[in-house]
């Protein structure tokens, strides 16, 4: 039997994420590769049968990098880096009992995150093809084991202890395709205990095809994140149009389970100002420009923004400081391939 974990680790947990742990298989590609697989830049899709051969083909035809990924896990790893103290964050999701799963666990724990995976005996760890062209990225996710997460794992004593310790819960919208019951259970816990629940729209397809589970979780959401394409798609799905300020205000005004504070909606727009809607008003925050030659790829930029934002939110910073930390973290990540945590302590000041 392995010795029980020191309870101190649990007590240190300020932020917990639930999501789909994936190993990114990243390659710089030509337009014909995107066309072949029906992939668009600045988009994310779930793999279909036609995409199955892509992962092996990519590894044969292009130099590929294997990088710890999965949107929620990326955000949690970045938040942990910004927060600094090991064990300040935890991450829960499902991996396979295989080499890729071990790699993901090593990466997360190496970054100081308390990785509490459900391990599926038969299904391999999920992977995500990251097709990079001109600094922009297209994601094709083969969830595999990540799709097998069950609420029974959430109900175990270990996970309940982590959830109880954390003040902030974060899920990418991608988790809506896997376990809405877990997200609703989290939402109820957060509302009852007056904690903070954060959700990301994550991809246009979530708003298009998973609108019902999205709307079932929305009453529990205190902070809603998204980028400009996701926000526009959400507006379209809700019949609000695609004007981002309007979508942000209407999303902020949707019914809310916990009436103790208003919902905050945060929409990023790449290098254009970040939009924040709160209490019937809009604020905009400029983004420091990065020279084009310094951009490597945008994979993980939105995840890093959320990570920086949540790190400061956990320290009770004001919204302007949270946005500044988010944009700073995104700026660091777009200067490397994928969501790689920079060496050494975080230098945000």
Q: Which residues are catalytic?
A: 303
The number of residues in the chain equals 349
Q: Residue written as tokens 């799905």?
A: 237
CA distance 186 to 181: 9
CA distance 37 to 44: 12
Beta strands in 55-125 (DSSP E): 65-69, 89-92, 94-96, 114-115, 118-120
348 within 8 A of 328, measured Cβ to Cβ = yes
CA distance 206 to 214: 8
């Amino acid at each position: 039997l392995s010795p029980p974990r020191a309870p101190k680790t649990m007590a240190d947990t300020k932020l917990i994420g639930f999501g789909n742990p994936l190993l990114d298989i990243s390659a710089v590609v030509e337009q014909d590769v995107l066309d072949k697989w029906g992939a668009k830049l600045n988009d994310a899709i779930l793999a279909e049968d036609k995409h199955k051969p892509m992962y092996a083909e990519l590894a044969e035809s292009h130099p590929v990098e294997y990088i710890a990924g999965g949107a929620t896990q990326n955000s949690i790893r970045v938040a942990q880096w910004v927060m600094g103290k090991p064990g300040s964050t935890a991450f829960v999701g499902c991996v396979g009992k295989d080499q890729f799963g071990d790699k993901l666990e090593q990466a997360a724990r190496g970054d100081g995150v308390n990785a509490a995976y459900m391990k599926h005996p038969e299904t391999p760890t999920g992977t995500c093809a990251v097709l990079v062209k001109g600094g922009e990225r297209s994601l094709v996710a083969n969830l595999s084991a990540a799709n097998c997460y069950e609420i029974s794992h959430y109900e175990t004593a270990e996970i309940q202890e982590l959830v109880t310790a954390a003040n902030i819960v974060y899920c990418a919208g991608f988790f809506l395709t896997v376990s809405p019951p877990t997200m609703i259970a989290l939402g109820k816990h957060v509302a009852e205990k007056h904690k903070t629940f954060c959700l990301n729209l994550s991809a246009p397809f979530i708003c298009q095809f998973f609108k019902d589970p999205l709307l079932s979780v929305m009453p529990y959401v205190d902070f809603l994140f998204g980028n400009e394409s996701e926000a526009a798609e959400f507006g379209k799905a809700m019949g609000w149009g695609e004007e981002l300020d309007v979508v942000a205000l209407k999303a902020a005004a949707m019914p809310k389970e916990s009436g103790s504070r208003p919902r905050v909606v945060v929409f990023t727009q790449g290098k254009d100002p970040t939009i924040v809607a709160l209490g019937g008003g809009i604020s905009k925050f400029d983004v420091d420009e990065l020279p084009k030659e310094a951009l490597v790829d945008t994979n993980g930029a939105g995840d890093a923004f959320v990570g920086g934002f949540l790190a400061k939110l956990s320290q009770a910073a004001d919204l302007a400081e949270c946005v500044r930390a988010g944009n700073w973290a995104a700026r660091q990540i777009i200067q490397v391939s994928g969501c790689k945590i920079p060496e050494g302590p975080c230098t945000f000041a």
